[in-house]
Amino acid sequence: MQFFRIIFSLAVVSMLATACGDAYKSTKSGLVYKIIPGSKKGKQVKAGTVVKFHVVVMQKDSVTYNSFGKIPAFAYVDSTPRNYDISEVLPLLNIGDSAVIVQSVDTIAKLQGGQMPAGLKKGDKIKILLRVLDAYDNIPIAQLMYNKENELQKERDIKEVEAYLNSKKIRTIKTPAGAFVAISRQGEGALPDTGKQVSLKYTGFNFNGDKFDSNVDPAFGHTDTFKIVIGQMGSIPGFEEGVKQIAKGGKAKIYIPSMLGYGMQGAAPKIKPYEHLIFEVEMLDIQDVEKLAPTKKEKE
């Protein structure tokens, strides 16, 4: 999940230190866990609530996901937890508690019909650290809190991209949603609007300059023209936002904050969670969408 470089927060270090020396327990399905009580005992997490928590995932001693400083996880607590899953441990916790959960890759593979989790091998372990922040009895309120966390992350992302652009002295146009466009060649004619089909050449990079996709570079196996219809969500939001600033024949770089890209999920294995992206784009054409032939019913 989150593969970019991570410095452990003091909270995570504290969880690990507190957990040392304590005895592990097992759930009915054999999931190994230990609970680290919070400094103040909060209300218990119960079935039917939505729990908000921070989580860190470690695979083979490497951190693969860390929500600290990012969007917390939100999960509905079902009355029937899934076997060998953190849903077995969540109802055992109070708000403010932390837990360390250890999963055996061998057991996961057995439950998945012999399919080994990607990137792992027999004998590996997955360690999950989590800290309960809150629990909501009202699902609409939980949804509002989740939306708020997403907006806060989007604001953080935009500030990070702005800081990067300022440090490089790159002049850009900021789109309404928060993508940034640096025009290198002005095109001609009107900008593409909703319902227009655009034809593009593109190459995508992360902020380290590593190329992850292209329809220009034959190494990626597809050199066909990329076409999308504006307003039909045929691409990540930040890409479309940027493309709308480029006229026919124009070239630009689009700088996309992660929440306007692939966000917390990323697009494994090449795009990491919360990774900001850069696209070099050339606008080849802007056209009206061809109307489909009318059906027999429409003719009548």
Q: Could you tell me the CATH number of the domain that includes residue 250? A: 3.10.50.40
Per the structure, how many domains does the chain have?
Answer: 2
Do 156 and 126 sit in the same domain of this protein? no
Q: How far apart are CA 103 and CA 59, in angstroms?
A: 10
Whether 212 sits among the annotated catalytic residues: the reply is yes
- Of 85, 106, 124, 213, the active-site residue reads 213
* Span 106-116, pLDDT tens digits: 999 999 998 98
Q: Which domain holds residue 45?
A: 10-141
Do 79 and 130 sit in the same domain of this protein? yes
Q: Which helix (H) or strand (E) holds 75?
A: strand 73-76
- Number of Cα atoms under 13 Å in the Cβ half of residue 183: 17
Q: How far apart are CA 264 and CA 71, in angstroms?
A: 8
Do 163 and 282 sit in the same domain of this protein? yes
Q: 103 with 27: CB under 8 angstroms?
A: no
- Of 33, 136, 255, 262, the active-site residue reads 262
Do 250 and 136 sit in the same domain of this protein? no
- Number of Cα atoms under 13 Å in the Cβ half of residue 94: 9
Residue 83 lies in a domain: yes
State the pLDDT at residue 291: 55
Do 49 and 159 sit in the same domain of this protein? no
Residue 294 lies in a domain: no
Gyration radius (Cα) of the chain, Å: 23
- Of 236, 246, 254, 271, the active-site residue reads 236
Looking at 96, 111, 141, the residue that finishes a domain is 141
Do 122 and 160 sit in the same domain of this protein? no
State the pLDDT at residue 118: 83
- Number of Cα atoms under 13 Å in the Cβ half of residue 175: 24
State the pLDDT at residue 119: 85
Do 64 and 182 sit in the same domain of this protein? no
Whether 65 sits among the annotated catalytic residues: the reply is no
Q: How far apart are CA 256 and CA 181, in angstroms?
A: 9
Low-confidence ranges of the chain (pLDDT < 50): 1-19, 292-293, 298-300
Residue 296 lies in a domain: no
Do 91 and 185 sit in the same domain of this protein? no
Residue 283 lies in a domain: yes
- Of 202, 226, 239, 274, the active-site residue reads 202
Do 172 and 121 sit in the same domain of this protein? no
Do 183 and 239 sit in the same domain of this protein? yes
State the pLDDT at residue 22: 62
Do 164 and 223 sit in the same domain of this protein? yes
Residue 229 lies in a domain: yes
Residues 6+ apart with CB under 8 A from 101: 31, 32, 33, 86, 89, 127, 128, 129, 130
Residue 4 lies in a domain: no
Do 180 and 207 sit in the same domain of this protein? yes
Looking at 119, 141, 163, the residue that finishes a domain is 141
pTM, to two decimals: 0.83
Q: 112 with 59: CB under 8 angstroms?
A: no
Tell me if residue 38 falls in helix, strand or coil: coil
Looking at 141, 159, 179, the residue that finishes a domain is 141
- Of 65, 71, 279, 286, the active-site residue reads 279
- Of 108, 212, 220, 285, the active-site residue reads 212
Whether 85 sits among the annotated catalytic residues: the reply is no
